[in-house]
Chains A and B, each alone.
Chain A
Amino acid sequence: MGETFYIFKDGDLKRKDNSIVITSLEGDKKNLKAEVADEIYLFGEVNLNTKLLNFISQKGIILHVFNYYGFYSGSYYPRETNISGYLLVQQVRNYDDEEKRLRIAKEILKASSYNIYRNLRYYNGRGINLEEQMKNIDSLIKKLDYGKSINELMGLEGNIRKIYYSTWNSIVKQDINFEKRVKRPPDNMINSLISFVNSLIYTTVLSEIYKTQLNPTISFLHEPGTKRFSLCLDIAEIFKPLIGERMIFSLLNKNQITEDDFDRESNFIYLKESGKRKILMEYDKRLEQTIAHKDLGRDVSYRYLIRLECYKLIKDIIGEKEYTGFKIWW
């Protein structure tokens, strides 16, 4: 399994022989092992050239770029080497077949909502009374089964998320005053945190899709978009509760992240470097965390669960086995 490098320093990123070297403004050099690298995240301001881009393309390394505020800017996605024309055609066919698309979209949402439910159940078992919200979410999940269109499913999903977010004030022990989810720009600490963490999950999913023959632009739940790799959004939906939101709760409840990690003047949009670092350390740790997979009989990491989701989609797309979304089972 390849490694991920997170770079905060400003400086130069260069190819040096067969490795990648980051030289900070102060002149410290650090070698990023190109042979084992899978992804590089750039948070600092870094100079790089085409020689480097050519090199990382050759090695199949994805470069994710974040701007000064920590918002995701984009990825340098090397030329696809895992191409299957056959699979692409099948993927498009499945998207285009309303019935099949709806079935896959439903599976994605059912899994994602179930994982949300599990998060609530966890905190409900720890002395926060969430019975009512759990009951409401449960009945919405049941309605997903009868959804007749993507729009209807999206509406149900919106309602589930609304109930979910309404519980955050009681789940989180800090005084977060979280009313509702706001993006572009986020309007408080929690919204900023969600945006940042979601963009991390998005990039991780993109990196995993890249290792398969799936095409990241053709999605089932989300509309295939021109501005985003929408299949990443589909798959990310399933893992946000497990990887992202559990981490947010834990970071806040252990006071690892507080308002002090944000720039007050920025109206809590700007996450300070210290904050980003803490989140990324924790995020990386979670991705590498493993669980015993009952179907495979081996330990798999959270990161690898994402790839397995891709494999399941591949099997559904070629008509071998119907896709079932990943649900937390432990």
Chain B
Amino acid sequence: MKKITGVMVYYYFVCKRKLWYFNNDVNMEHTSELVGMGKLIDESSYNREKKNILIDETINVDFLKDWKIIHEVKKSRKLDEAAKWQLKYYIWVLRNKEVKIEKGILDYPLLRKREEIFLTTSEEEELMEVLEQIQHIINKDLPPGVINKAFCKKCSYYELCYI
């Protein structure tokens, strides 16, 4: 079984094709200005916190408060469904390591907003299914097809998908 990262869970909800490419290290992020901006936001916000904590060499948590609250920093709320599940996954992984996580918080420093995220038991089951699906997708020989969404135009994989 391959280790699943938070980004993979995020991509599962954004675009399964991107997930497949990402898993095979065909990365496009370094060419994208938007991604560069996201990186800058990450670097320039919450500097008082201990940031980017790599756990188990798989998940990279933006920052943790007292090992009770997990924070994830995002630029916009466009893909908040995916961000929620990414955070729920972090909660699950840490709880499995017996860390008493209370909740997660999605931070939008540019919007000056935050949102609390909890992981319920029923959602935990849903999450297990998602993880299974992710394994299934990344084990395929070929990437899933282009999803043709409006947000494709802003994606760093746009040219690779549409050429």
Residues of A near any B CB (own CB < 8 A): 60, 81-87, 211, 213, 295-297, 307-308, 311-312, 314-315, 318-320
Contacts and interface: CB of A to CB of B under 8 A. Distances in A.
Interface string B20-57: 00001111001100000000000000000000000000
Contacts of B126: none
B160 A82 contact: no
A323 to B, nearest CB: 10
Query: How big is the B interface, by class?
Result: 10 to 19
A81 B162 CA distance: 24
A314 to B, nearest CB: 7
A84 B30 contact: no
A297 B26 CA distance: 23
Contacts of A295: 162-163
Interface in B139-163: 141-143, 158-160, 162-163
B30 A86 contact: no
Given A211-B30, A211-B31, A86 B24 contact: yes
Interface in B114-144: 141-143
Nearest to A211: B31
B160 A314 contact: yes
B146 to A, nearest CB: 10
A165 B11 CA distance: 51
Nearest to A319: B142
B25 A320 contact: no
B143 A320 contact: yes
A168 to B, nearest CB: 33
Chain A interface main SS type: loop
Chain B interface main SS type: loop
Contact of B160 (A60, A86, A311, A319): A311
Nearest to B160: A311
A84 B26 CA distance: 6
Contacts of A312: 163
B27 A213 contact: yes
Contact of A308 (B25, B31, B142, B163): B163
Contacts of B143: 318, 320
A320 B25 CA distance: 16
B25 A213 contact: yes
Given A308-B159, A308-B163, A318-B143, 4 more contacts: A81-B30, A83-B25, A211-B31, A213-B27
A1 to B, nearest CB: 9
Contacts of A83: 25
A320 B145 CA distance: 9
Contacts of B30: 60, 81-82, 211
A296 B142 contact: no
B163 A82 contact: no
A11 to B, nearest CB: 31
A87 B24 contact: yes
B12 to A, nearest CB: 19
Nearest to A300: B159
16 contacts: A84-B25, A84-B27, A86-B25, A211-B30, A211-B31, A213-B26, A296-B158, A296-B159, A308-B159, A311-B163, A312-B163, A315-B160, A315-B163, A318-B142, A318-B143, A320-B142
A312 B162 CA distance: 10
Nearest to A90: B24
Contacts of A211: 30-31
Contact of A311 (B24, B141, B159): B159
B103 to A, nearest CB: 36
A78 to B, nearest CB: 13
A308 B28 CA distance: 12
A312 B141 CA distance: 17
A327 B138 CA distance: 34
Nearest to A293: B163
Contacts of A86: 24-26
B111 to A, nearest CB: 26
A84 B24 contact: yes
A86 to B, nearest CB: 4
Contacts of B25: 82-87, 213
Nearest to A84: B25
Nearest to B17: A320
Nearest to B157: A311
A293 to B, nearest CB: 8
Contacts of B27: 82, 84, 213
